[in-house]
Amino acid sequence: MRILLVEDEPEMASVLRTALGQRDMVIDHVGTLAEGEEAITTGVHGAVLLDRNLPDGDGLDLLPRIRVRKLAAPVIILSARGDIEERVQGLDTGADDYLAKPFVIDELLARMRAVLRRSPELAPDLLRLGRFEFDWRNRSASVGGSTLDLPRRELLVLESLLRRHGRAVQRATLEEAVYGFDDEIQSNALDMHISRLRRRLSNAGAELEIHGIRGIGYLLKPGA
Ligand code: CA
């Protein structure tokens, strides 16, 4: 999943990038309100982590703009401004949660799990396609009860396909799910991940097929 981080402190951004990266999340980091607004319009993020004291204004000003665009991504405010009044203001403005700095990463992760559970895109927690199961809570795939070990990028591709299983997923959508804004995308990298993923699923006995659709992208559906 791709997470948008709007945060002007490089140290905080680097800590979050490392911590979330280890949990197979891709962070797109921007440092200003204006960049945050631009990044949000891409609509590719599963969640937004938003600082308040930004060089060009209060992060809270972004919230109405997110809602106006009807983006489903939950927003968690991460701010040194942690008084009760400020938290209430943040939640009333439309944030899904508010975490005062300093915070412990484990608490942030727990709160992210909580807001993502409420996000309709990810419900229900368990997706079952024949012998294959995917648990959105801990992002683990299994076949006939045995866990499938997937490298990070293959997991991100699989998640993106599963979220829209039975429908064609555009190539650009899959590439966006896997790469952050800063990563260079090699033209055949996605096809390589897909081909490895197919082999892994087939070796594990998952009855899933990933079809290439010329000029569009890929489609995952239950198969033989
Ligand atoms: Ca700040």
Q: What are phi and psi of 215, to 5 degrees?
A: 80, -5
CB distance 5 to 13 below 8 Å: yes
Query: Per residue in 49-58, pLDDT tens?
Result: 999 999 999 9
Q: Is the pTM of this model over 0.85?
A: no
How far, in Å, from the CA of 76 to the mean position of ligand 1? 14
How far, in Å, from the CA of 34 to the mean position of ligand 1? 14
CA distances from 96 to 68, 109, 111, 199 (A): 15, 14, 10, 39
Judgement on whether residues 197 and 182 belong to the same structural domain of the protein: yes
Judgement on whether residues 148 and 177 belong to the same structural domain of the protein: yes
How far, in Å, from the CA of 47 to the mean position of ligand 1? 19
How far, in Å, from the CA of 8 to the mean position of ligand 1? 5
How far, in Å, from the CA of 110 to the mean position of ligand 1? 22
**CATH, residue 163:** 1.10.10.10
How far, in Å, from the CA of 101 to the mean position of ligand 1? 10
The H-or-E segment that residue 36 falls in is: helix 33-40
Judgement on whether residues 98 and 174 belong to the same structural domain of the protein: no
Query: Per residue in 94-127, pLDDT tens?
Result: 999 999 999 999 999 999 988 887 765 544 578 8
* Nearest CA-CA partner of 95 in 57, 150, 49: 49
The answer to whether the Cα torsion of 27, 30, 36, 40 is positive or negative is negative
Question: Any bridge partners for residue 220, and if so which?
Answer: 210
86: domain range?
A: 2-120
Of 29-33, 50-54, 176-180, 213-217, the poorest mean pLDDT is in: 176-180
Domain count, the chain: 2
How far, in Å, from the CA of 31 to the mean position of ligand 1? 9
Domain closes at, from 100, 120, 140: 120
How far, in Å, from the CA of 94 to the mean position of ligand 1? 19
Output the pLDDT for position 119: 65
